[in-house]
Amino acid sequence: MNLKQSIFNPESDLHKEIVAKVMECVRKGFSAGKELRNRADQIDSTLKAFVPTSNLDNYWRLRNHENPKAPLEIVIPISKAARDTFLTYMASAFLSDPMRIYALRGRGDRAAIARAGLLERLLNLQALWFKHDLSYMTFWNDMFCYGLGAVIPEWSKIKRRQTITSFADEAMAMMLRQEGKMVNIGDMIKSVEEKIVAEGNKLTNCSVRNVFLDPSAPLHEQDRGEFCGYIERVNVFSLVERAKDPEERLDLKACRYLSEKVRAGAYGNVGMLHDGVFGSDYGYESIHEIVMPSEKRETCAVVHLFKRIDPKEWKIASGDDVPDSCLVEFIVGAGEVLIGVVVIDYDHGMMPMVFASPSHDGYETYSLAELASVYGMQQYCDWKVRAQVANQSKVLNDMLLVDPTAFEEEDLLNPAPGKLIRLKRALYNSGGIDQFIKQLQVQDVTANNLADVLQVASFMNDLIGVSDIVRGDLSSMPERPTAALGMAARQSALSRLQYLAQKIQSQSMVPITYMMAYNTLQFMSMDMVINIIGSRYEQDIRSVLGMGPDETDIYVSPADLDGDFDIEPQTKLRNEADVNAMQPVVERLLQIPEIAMSIMSKLDATALVLNYIKRSGFENVEDFLQKNPVPVMASVLPDQQVAQQAQAGNLAPMDTVAPTA
């Protein structure tokens, strides 16, 4: 499908019509999320306990010319502790094994299983290259704090500059001489080239303050909605550089036009990410009234709108191959300049954005966050502590009833500690000074505030599922709990977090894995080297590809992969329960000699021990293996049979056998 170049002409009526349609969708989605953004600002205040710089001196020392002030900005970070507990569990559930973040299983024969194993290994290598763990931590933080997490799996490349050394032949020497460079045949020539060292899926996080969704579709069904998108803040110079890369699919002329207009101050502060951005149709002020147009800037907001459209109706394409519908990304800078129209032709056929919320009820577009459900209790705890501090400050700041005729007034008004108060001359040696000055009694009505805060904090943690056991506090357990009791208590406490993890798994991890796998199949352009050691499909890969026992690395090309696979969910809590339930059974079985002999005879003990040592951290265990090991023929016999053979003289202890010459 060929796009019309007139759509990128800012003066054309078609350009203005398309921009108006795009911005109408943005206004609609951005307006629906206003309440979410307001909640996000309020929740942020409960996650950050700080001291204003202007008050630091008053908090840490008393200055001679001021009374001590109460730090009434105190925030008790109970919500922060709960947030960290959520993130800790999710990191343990999904990121504990860096090479098993994504799990695939092939369909069909052993060859299909091996191809899925290669793709799985490749996806997890991409996770290391592009630091997926950091993206997921931000993703989960947005979910639990604000009720919405958004991420975009997109194909990316890691490029590095590399020095290339070559020798000039006759043609190259002649060409360089024409450019004014004195080069002879055989001279060494060094040049710097940009080389792709890795390619794969990168996860781009989108802040909840920048995301807009279709309010008519539930959060987990945005793929079926009318539109979705996000806003990014970009430097106009970098935008022009991005447009020079054909893979960005931006219109270079439109980007240069936008850059010139923004730097000239034509749009002022247009595109700042607040509710006054998108005009007055929804009760907001006009974008041109925010800042005077004369202000010059080098950054602006760029809108990315993903929408399914009829290209003929929107008049963006020409030719006979125009489809009836397609998914298109519209990119608009500063709210007025269309700089890109990208037809989304991903093989996975999904919206390129993934949204998730563990508190989603199945119907809402913008969900209430886990921490928002206890926001009022958090505020109550903060108020309790501030009230106690204010009361103590009231005690420290003396309140006196004074007869000013008995004292020098300037001495009484000086608040510094250790001061001298002079009596009037008429009262010298008169005694009975107490009748002229008296301090008001201050009653401490906040003595139990801290205990109340601890009780409410415990109640908050129980409400949102981060009880004492989950946070590592075992004080509520019996004095000497049994291992079974401790494990049962832990699994019971973690089951609620597992429920949240299961929702996150279905909402985000499964579609992200699906999209990344198909992006790899569609866009992978170069062979990659992967290591199969430790892979659960190692034996299948060795068997199908005919690899030797000493081969560990393999080149993977796009032809070695296919899309016939299933995605396996991560169920860490269930696996732990299964292991703990089977452990005593396995121990009992291994105590029976006949069963132990049968099991050990079928296991490669050397490989098993080496794998254990590697997982313990000794990756170079092969360096300690004997170069020419002496073969040892060993067999396991029952104790009674060994005693009989030794009595008959057929067996002897190893330490009594004389070495052979």
Give the model confidence (pLDDT) of 413-448 as tens digits: 776 666 777 888 777 777 777 777 777 777 777 888
Domain's final residue, options 355, 373, 391: 373
Q: Is residue 75 assigned to a domain? A: yes
Domain assignment present for 335: yes
Contact criterion met (CB below 8 Å) for 151 and 206: yes
Please state, in angstroms and rounded to a whole number, the distance separating the CA atoms of residues 509 and 93.
12
Q: Is residue 568 part of a domain?
A: no
Long-range contacts of 242-247 (CB under 8 A, 24+ apart): 243/339
For the stretch 538-552, pLDDT in tens is 888 888 888 877 788
pLDDT score of 304 more than 90: yes
Q: Is the pTM of this model over 0.85?
A: no
* Runs of H (alpha helix) within 329-448: 375-396, 409-413
Neighbours of 222 (CB within 10 A): 21
Residue 526 lies in a domain: no
Number of structural domains found in the chain = 2
Contact assessment for residue 175 and residue 114, using Cβ atoms and an 8 Å cutoff: no
Nearest 5 degrees, angle CA 264-CA 266-CA 268? Answer: 100
User: Is there a domain that residue 601 lies in?
Assistant: yes
Does residue 137 surpass a pLDDT of 90?
Answer: yes
Other Cβ atoms closer than 10 A to 397: 13
In the predicted structure, residue 375 carries a pLDDT above the cut 80: yes
- Altogether, the residues listed in the chain come to a count of 661
For residue range 509-532, list pLDDT tens digits in order.
Answer: 999 999 999 999 999 988 888 888
How many whole angstroms separate alpha carbon 342 and alpha carbon 2?
11
Whether residue 581 has pLDDT greater than 80: no
In a domain, 472, yes or no: no
Residue after which a domain boundary falls, among 311, 339, 373: 373
Distances in Å between the Cα of 367 and the Cα atoms of 31, 38, 39, 361, 507 are 15, 13, 11, 8, 14
The 8-class DSSP code of residue 357 comes to -
pLDDT reported for residue 54: 54
- What confidence score (pLDDT) does residue 571 get? 62
Name the average pLDDT for the chain.
Answer: 79
What residues pair up with 192 in beta bridges, in sequence order?
163
385: how many CB neighbours lie within 10 A of its CB?
19
Whether the per-residue pLDDT at 607 is higher than 90: the answer is no
For residue 559, tell me if it sits in a domain.
no
- What is the C-alpha separation between 355 and 152, in angstroms, rounded? 9
For the beta carbon of residue 54, count every other beta carbon within 10 angstroms. 7
Greatest Cα pair distance, the chain, in angstroms, is 124
- Residue 44: domain span: 2-373
Mean pLDDT is highest, among 87-91, 352-356, 645-649, for 352-356
Domain boundary among 314, 338, 373: 373
Residue 569 falls within a domain, yes or no? Answer: no
